[in-house]
Amino acid sequence: MLRWASDRSLSRYFKQIMRYPLLTREEEEEYAIRAKLGDLIVEVEAKPAKTRAVLVRAIKKAGAGGVLRLAVQRSGKRMEVTLSLPALIPTYMANTDKAIPILGMKLLELTELNQAQKSFFADIKAGLVITEIAPDSPASSAGLIDYNMEARDKLIVHNLRWVVTIAKQYQNRGLALSELINEGNLGLIQAVSKFDEARKTRLTTYSNWWIRYYIVTALASRHLIKLPIKMRNLAKKIRDRYGVLAQRFGRTPSIEELARELEVSPEEVSCAFDCGVAELSIDALPFDDSKVTFEEVLKDTTSPLPTELSGKEQIERDVRSSLYESLADRELYVVTRHFGIPLPQGRFNMKRISEIFGRPKDQIQQILCAASRKLLSRLRRSLGDEGLRQYAKLSTAQSGMLPELLKKTDDASRKAVLKIMSKVVRNMPAILSDQFEGFELIESEVMALFWSFGPTQPELNLREIGDLLGISREAARQIKERSIKKLKKYLRPQAFDSFFREAI
């Protein structure tokens, strides 16, 4: 795309684009067809890419997280591309159906192209043509493209004069001609990417809307306050008709009369009038004799300063560090769950959890296994056996024995369930947070401590904590008070007051 440094270079820009006349209809159709055909994959791992099945087999052989080496032809030049496979390859990403993307690419075999498309690959006998690439896909990350850059550039540069013609119609509206042309060129690029030559419409006709849309959007965005394009257009129509109606009636037209003239509702006209209010700088004076600016008048004195927020964050870090160092496990649990303070990750094993809740280790293991079975059953229903196996990266043996393990309660089954659950936690942490609905409180708390989940409830009252620990509410309160006394000795007064004073 041709660019310029300032308005002075506009004349040089005009001379440059004069060298590119408008295309004929036949040339336009030819370039449009070619522009839609992206890179041509001719070899996959040094083997001819005759069909999609060749690529699918190579993907399966490389495996998840592997590397695929492709030989690609682009604009008549051969190049080597290394495509990194994702850690998880769902079945739909390795399908031979041409309607389903393979690693984010929609592909056509050369035999599936029509006669006009085949003419661009006359010297090549076999290959896969990329027609579409999904954003952020493995193919996009490898640098593959789904269009012919040379043909697309031809369509753009030969229509630059059309952009200048449209841009000149929007002069003297707040933007320089060079900026209007630049925005119009962006609209032309968008039009070329969406142009369909099969509709027998000229590119100049189709691009007219896109070019005007980008220019009008740029004119609207120059305002400090962003408003919908529709409202800006209505405000312009009101300005145009206002003088006509004033001359016709010999007086100022009312909002209802303007609404009838423009065939809109009075509310829309009133709103458009509000949009026409001029913007003011925050450094301006509210009145001529004012001694303060809008910034000083509108300043929010109730919100904390950034320095105060930073100091508060440091205090919170100090408090958490003191909690973990000065309190026993049961005291730490009571204080953190009562005041909603995050627990440390990866700190609690089965023995420490049993000490916190005052229950035998075997009972805690039973609760953990029962909750794990319940969670795995929900995941099987929502994802299916194959989906759970892929996302949790389970082995074929683990996936096959899981239905039977969920029914058994012996020690061997418990260990196997916990082993599978560890893989689920490691590979699917984002999915698990929404799966605890209907769990008993003791189950969700044990799971949160053992697997380092976030708690299902941000805070617990003393009665709930007492029930979990198998003690009375009064005993839970005594543990809390004993912990607070320890922290009061350990923490600086400012940190203690900011964190616990209001709650106490």
Taking only the tens place, the pLDDT of each residue in 101-111 is 887 788 888 77
Whether 446 is in a domain gets the answer: no
Band (4; pLDDT cuts 50, 70, 90): very low
Mean pLDDT of all residues in the chain? 79
pLDDT digits (tens, 9 = 90+) for 153-172: 889 999 999 999 999 998 88
> If DSSP codes are grouped into helix, strand and coil, which group holds residue 41?
strand
Does the pLDDT of residue 5 top 50, yes or no?
no
Residue 71, token pair as written in the block: 């030989």
Q: What is the CATH number of the domain that holds 94?
A: 2.30.42
> Is residue 110 domain-shared with residue 42, that is, in the same domain?
yes
> Is residue 45 domain-shared with residue 125, that is, in the same domain?
yes
For 287-306, b where at least 16 C-beta lie within 10 A, e where not — what string? Answer: eeeeeeeeeeeeeeeeeeee
User: Which long-range contacts link 350-358 to residues 24+ away (Cβ below 8 Å)?
Assistant: 350/450, 353/446, 353/449, 353/450, 355/329, 355/330, 356/329, 356/330, 356/449, 356/469, 357/442, 357/446, 357/468, 357/469, 357/470, 358/330, 358/469, 358/470, 358/471
> How far is Cα 136 from Cα 399, in angstroms, rounded to an integer?
30
Taking a C-beta distance cutoff of 8 angstroms, is the pair 38, 144 a contact?
Answer: yes
CB neighbourhood size of 243 (10 A)? 10
Quick one: pLDDT at residue 396?
84
Number of domain units in the chain? 4
Whether 483 is in a domain gets the answer: no
Whether 464 is in a domain gets the answer: no
> Is residue 256 domain-shared with residue 279, that is, in the same domain?
yes
> Is residue 73 domain-shared with residue 130, that is, in the same domain?
yes
> Is residue 141 domain-shared with residue 173, that is, in the same domain?
no
> Bigger pLDDT: 165 or 404?
165
Rounded to an integer, the average pLDDT of 32-37 is 80
Quick one: pLDDT at residue 1?
42
> Is residue 47 domain-shared with residue 142, that is, in the same domain?
yes
Among the three residues 385, 415, 440, which one is the final residue of a domain in this structure? 440
- Of 313-322, 344-353, 474-483, the poorest mean pLDDT is in 313-322
DSSP symbol at 102:
B
Taking a C-beta distance cutoff of 8 angstroms, is the pair 40, 129 a contact?
Answer: yes
> Is residue 141 domain-shared with residue 47, that is, in the same domain?
yes
Q: What is the CATH number of the domain that holds 213?
A: 1.20.120.1810
User: Which one, of 281, 280, 277, 282, lies nearest residue 300 by Cα?
Assistant: 282
Rounded to an integer, the average pLDDT of 116-125 is 73
User: In angstroms, how far is CA 373 from the centroid of its own chain?
Assistant: 33
% of the chain beyond a pLDDT of 90: 7
Rounded to an integer, the average pLDDT of 191-209 is 88
Among the three residues 166, 201, 221, which one is the final residue of a domain in this structure? 221
Please report where in the chains the tokens 């003419």 appear, as a residue: 119
Whether 499 is in a domain gets the answer: no
Among the three residues 146, 167, 196, which one is the final residue of a domain in this structure? 146
> If DSSP codes are grouped into helix, strand and coil, which group holds residue 163?
helix
DSSP 254-311: PHHHHHHHHTS-HHHHHHHHHHTSPP--TTS-SSTT-SS-HHHHH--SSSPPHHHHHH
Does the pLDDT of residue 73 top 60, yes or no?
yes
User: Which one, of 67, 40, 53, lies nearest residue 138 by Cα?
Assistant: 67
Sign, CA torsion 34/38/39/43: negative
Rounded to an integer, the average pLDDT of 143-151 is 80
User: Which one, of 188, 203, 201, lies nearest residue 156 by Cα?
Assistant: 188
Predicted structure pTM score:
0.43
Strand-pairing partners, residue 79, are: 72
Whether 304 is in a domain gets the answer: no
| Domain of residue 389, residue span | 359-440
> Is residue 16 domain-shared with residue 159, that is, in the same domain?
yes
Whether 448 is in a domain gets the answer: no
Quick one: pLDDT at residue 3?
44
> Is residue 384 domain-shared with residue 288, that is, in the same domain?
no
> How far is Cα 160 from Cα 3, in angstroms, rounded to an integer?
12
Quick one: pLDDT at residue 487?
74
User: Which one, of 13, 12, 30, lies nearest residue 155 by Cα?
Assistant: 30
> Is residue 49 domain-shared with residue 123, that is, in the same domain?
yes
pLDDT digits (tens, 9 = 90+) for 170-199: 888 778 888 899 999 999 999 998 888 888
Quick one: pLDDT at residue 504?
46
Whether 269 is in a domain gets the answer: yes
pLDDT digits (tens, 9 = 90+) for 408-451: 778 788 888 888 888 888 887 777 766 777 778 888 888 877 87
Whether 28 is in a domain gets the answer: no
pLDDT digits (tens, 9 = 90+) for 212-236: 999 988 887 776 666 777 777 888 7
Rounded to an integer, the average pLDDT of 328-342 is 77
> Is residue 111 domain-shared with residue 205, that is, in the same domain?
no
> Is residue 184 domain-shared with residue 228, that is, in the same domain?
no
**Burial of 227: CB neighbours in 10 Å, binned 0-12, 13-18, 19+:** middle
Strand-pairing partners, residue 43, are: 48, 71
> How far is Cα 201 from Cα 441, in angstroms, rounded to an integer?
65
pLDDT digits (tens, 9 = 90+) for 250-299: 888 888 988 888 888 988 888 887 765 566 677 777 777 777 787 777 77
Strand-pairing partners, residue 108, are: 129
